[in-house]
C-alpha cells in the first residue's frame, strides 16, 4: 500500500506541475455536499501537500457512533459497520488518499438522490450501485467503462463468478467492480423439521425437490407441530417477486426475453404463481409483511422463511432454536434463485481527472481485496472464485450451506427502466394472494404494465 501511495503522490505531483503551467495558482477546488445525514457526497477536492480527498456515495445506513476510530473490521456486526470500518482502515493507511464521510441514506431513496448529483453536474468519484440499476446509468453515458482501469490496479475481473461478471457488464462493456452477490435463501427452524421427522441422519432438514414434495412436507410438519410451514414478506418489499423469478428460472424460463420484452405470462410464470398461491393459502399467512414474518420465524412459529443473505448473521445470533439456512431448493430439477450485486462504479464526469481516477481506483482495489471481510461481516456471498475455493470463509456461520448460490444466482435482466417494471410485477403478484386477484389476469396485467415501463 505504501508503494501505491508513493506512485499516486508522484502522479499528483505531475498533475500539479501541469496545472501550474496552465496558469493555475490554487491546487484545490471547492468541495460541497447537499448537507445533513444521509446525503450523497458530491464533488472531489485535491488538497495541500499532495493529499487528495475523494467523495463516495453509498447506502447501508449511518453508524458513526459505533465505528468512530475503529479500523478492525472483525469487530463489525452490520453492513454499515463493515463498510465504515473498511473506509476507516483505508483512511488510516499511508496512501495519500482520504475518503470523504460517506452518505448512508436508505437504499429506497438512494437512487433519487444519486440521480440529483448527476443532474447538478457534481457526481461523487465512486458510488455503490445495484447491478439492476446499472443500465439506467451506463445507458445514458454517466458511468466510465473501467475494464482497463481495473486491470491497471490489479483487479482480476475473471476471478469474479459468472453472475457477478454479467451483472457488472452492459452492452459488452464493464462498468463496475462487483462487491458481493446477495439473494434469496431458505431459512429453516431445524427443530420443527426434527419434530416432524423431516431430517436426515445428521439431523439436517430434508429439502424438497419438487412442488409435490414441498406440499407433502408442509402438511406433515404442520400436522406434527401445529406451526405454519412457510412465510415471507408477502406484500411490502417485492420479496414475492424474488421468489417468482427464482421459480421461473428453475423451470428454464425468463421474465424478460432477448429483445427486452417482459415474458411473465408464460407456462413457467403460471406454474410459479400457482405454487406460490398454494403456499400462501394453505401453509402461510399472507397478511404478514417483512417485520411480521421475521418475528414469527424468530419466535419459533414458522418452519421456513424466505428471506435474503443479509439476515443470516442476525438469525444465527438471535434464533433460540437450531437455525439452518440453505440456498433455495430446486423444485423443478435445476437450481435458481433471485440474486443481485452491490457494485462500485466510477461516474464518468468526475473521473476524467487522472488524479481523481487514480485515487478512486486505489479505493476500489482496496475494497476488492477485502471482499472476504465484507462477506464474513454481512452474510452476503463472496463473488470471487479464489475466495470461494480458498476455505477462508469456511468458519463463518452457515456459509458452507449456501455458498453455491454465488454461481447459481439469477439476476434480473440488464435492461433500462427495470425498477418500474419490477414494481409493476410485484404489485400484480401481490394482488393474487392479498386480494384474490385472478392469477391469469394478474400475469397478463403484469406483462402489459412491465412492457409499458420498459418502453418508456
The radius of gyration of the chain's CA atoms, rounded to the nearest angstrom, is 23
Q: Per the domain annotation, does 408 fall within a domain? A: no
Per-residue pLDDT of 99-143, as tens digits, reads 996 567 776 789 999 999 999 999 999 999 999 999 999 999 999
Same domain membership, residue 193 and residue 65: no
Helix 267-283 and helix 211-225: axis angle, to 10°? 10
Residue 412 belongs to some domain of the structure: no
Q: Do 298 and 442 belong to one domain?
A: yes
pLDDT at 5: 43
| Residue 235 pLDDT | 97
10: pLDDT confidence band, cut at 50, 70 and 90? very low
Find out whether 385 and 392 touch, Cβ atoms under 8 Å: no
Whether residue 202 is found in the same domain as residue 262: yes
| Claim to verify: residue 310 and residue 376 sit in the same structural domain | no
> Above 80 in pLDDT, residue 1?
no
The verdict on residue 395 lying in a domain is no
Whether the per-residue pLDDT at 344 is higher than 50: the answer is yes
**pLDDT above 90 as % of the chain:** 85
- The answer to whether residues 164 and 43 belong to one domain is yes
Whether 443 contacts 264, CB under 8 Å = yes
Whether 409 is in a domain gets the answer no
What is the mean pLDDT of the segment spanning 219-238?
Answer: 98
pLDDT band at 334 (very low <50, low <70, confident <90, very high): very high
* pLDDT of residue 12 exceeding 70: no
Between 85 and 22, the higher pLDDT residue = 85
Q: Do 88 and 207 lie in a common domain?
A: no
Indicate whether 280 and 167 sit together in one domain. no
Tell whether the model's pLDDT for residue 50 goes beyond 80.
no
Mean pLDDT of 36-52: 47
| Alpha-carbon separation of residue 217 from 148, 183, 206, 214, 262 (angstroms) | 51, 24, 9, 5, 33
Locate 363 and state its grid cell.
479505493
Same domain, 213 and 315: yes
Output 445 or 25, whichever has higher pLDDT.
445
Classify residue 309: in a domain, yes or no.
Answer: yes
Looking at the structure, tell me whether residues 11 and 159 fall in a common domain: yes
Within its chain, how far is the Cα of 271 from the centroid? 27
The DSSP code for 73 is G
| Same-domain status, 121 and 266 | no
Where in the sequence is the domain holding 263, given as residue range(s)? 183-340+417-454
The CATH number of the domain holding residue 192 is 3.40.190.10
Contact between residue 431 and residue 437 where contact means Cβ atoms under 8 Å apart: yes
The grid coordinates listed for 332 are: 423443478
Q: Do residues 253 and 279 both lie within one domain?
A: yes
> Does residue 251 fall inside a structural domain?
yes
**Model confidence over 209-220: pLDDT tens digits?**
999 999 999 999
Q: What is the pLDDT of residues 413-439, one digit of tens each?
A: 899 999 999 999 999 999 999 999 999
The answer on 171 and 270 residing in a single domain is no
Q: How many whole angstroms separate alpha carbon 380 and alpha carbon 76?
A: 14
Average confidence (pLDDT) over 311-327: 97
The CA distances from residue 227 to 24, 218, 230, 288, in Å, are 73, 10, 9, 15
Residues in the chain: 456
Q: How many domains does the chain have?
A: 2
Output phi, psi for 5, to 5 deg. Answer: -60, -40
Nearest-angstrom CA–CA distance, 241 and 412: 11
Asked if the structure places residue 29 within a domain, the reply is yes
Average pLDDT of 314-331?
97
What is the average pLDDT value for the chain, to the nearest integer?
A: 89
237 contacts: CB under 8 Å, gap ≥ 6: 290
**401 assigned to some structural domain:** no
pLDDT grade, residue 33 (50/70/90)?
A: very low
The pTM assigned to this predicted structure is 0.87
| DSSP assignment of 188-256 | EEHHHHHHTT-B-TTSPBPPP-SHHHHHHHHHHHHHHHSSEEEE---SSSSHHHHHHHHHHHHTT--SB
Amino acid at each position: 500500500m505504501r508503494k501505491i501511495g508513493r506512485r499516486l503522490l508522484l502522479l499528483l505531483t505531475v498533475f500539479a506541475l501541469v496545472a501550474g503551467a496552465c496558469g493555475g495558482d490554487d491546487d484545490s477546488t471547492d468541495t460541497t455536499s447537499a448537507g445533513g445525514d444521509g446525503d450523497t457526497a458530491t464533488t472531489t477536492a485535491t488538497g495541500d501537500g499532495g493529499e487528495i480527498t475523494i467523495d463516495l456515495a453509498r447506502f447501508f445506513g449511518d453508524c458513526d457512533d459505533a465505528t468512530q476510530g475503529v479500523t478492525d473490521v472483525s469487530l463489525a456486526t452490520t453492513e454499515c459497520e463493515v463498510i465504515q470500518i473498511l473506509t476507516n482502515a483505508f483512511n488510516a493507511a499511508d496512501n495519500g488518499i482520504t475518503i470523504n464521510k460517506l452518505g448512508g441514506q436508505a437504499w429506497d431513496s438512494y437512487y433519487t438522490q444519486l440521480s440529483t448529483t448527476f443532474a447538478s453536474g457534481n457526481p461523487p468519484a465512486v458510488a455503490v450501485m445495484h447491478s439492476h440499476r446499472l443500465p439506467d446509468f451506463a445507458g445514458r453515458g454517466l458511468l466510465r467503462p473501467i475494464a482497463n482501469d481495473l486491470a491497471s490496479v490489479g483487479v482480476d475481473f475473471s476471478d469474479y463468478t459468472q453472475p457477478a461478471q454479467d451483472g457488472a457488464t452492459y452492452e459488452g462493456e464493464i462498468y463496475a467492480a462487483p462487491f458481493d452477490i446477495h439473494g434469496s435463501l431458505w431459512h429453516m427452524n431445524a427443530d420443527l423439521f426434527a419434530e416432524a421427522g423431516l431430517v436426515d441422519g445428521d439431523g439436517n432438514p430434508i429439502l424438497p425437490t419438487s412442488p409435490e414434495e414441498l406440499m407433502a412436507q408442509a402438511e406433515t410438519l404442520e400436522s406434527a407441530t401445529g406451526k405454519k410451514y412457510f412465510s415471507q414478506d408477502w406484500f411490502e418489499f417485492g420479496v414475492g417477486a424474488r421468489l417468482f423469478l427464482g421459480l421461473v428460472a428453475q423451470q428454464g424460463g425468463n421474465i424478460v426475453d432477448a429483445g427486452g420484452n417482459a415474458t411473465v405470462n408464460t407456462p413457467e410464470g403460471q406454474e410459479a404463481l400457482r405454487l406460490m398461491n398454494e403456499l400462501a393459502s394453505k401453509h402461510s399467512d399472507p397478511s404478514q409483511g417483512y417485520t411480521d414474518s421475521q418475528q414469527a420465524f424468530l419466535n419459533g412459529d414458522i418452519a421456513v422463511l424466505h428471506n435474503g443473505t443479509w439476515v443470516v448473521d442476525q438469525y444465527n445470533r438471535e434464533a433460540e432454536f437450531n437455525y439452518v439456512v440453505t440456498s433455495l431448493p430446486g423444485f423443478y430439477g435445476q437450481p435458481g434463485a433471485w440474486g443481485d450485486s452491490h457494485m462500485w462504479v466510477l461516474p464518468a464526469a468526475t473521473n476524467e481527472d487522472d488524479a481523481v481516477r487514480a485515487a478512486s481506483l486505489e479505493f476500489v482495489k482496496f475494497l476488492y481485496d477485502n471482499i472476504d471481510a465484507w462477506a464474513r461481516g454481512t452474510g452476503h456471498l463472496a463473488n470471487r472464485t479464489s475466495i470461494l475455493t480458498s476455505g477462508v470463509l469456511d468458519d463463518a456461520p452457515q456459509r458452507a450451506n449456501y455458498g453455491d448460490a454465488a454461481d447459481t444466482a439469477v439476476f434480473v435482466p440488464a435492461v433500462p427502466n427495470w425498477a418500474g417494471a419490477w414494481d409493476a410485477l410485484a404489485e400484480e403478484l401481490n394482488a393474487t394472494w392479498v386480494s384474490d386477484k385472478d392469477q391469469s389476469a394478474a400475469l397478463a396485467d403484469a406483462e402489459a404494465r412491465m412492457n409499458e415501463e420498459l418502453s418508456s
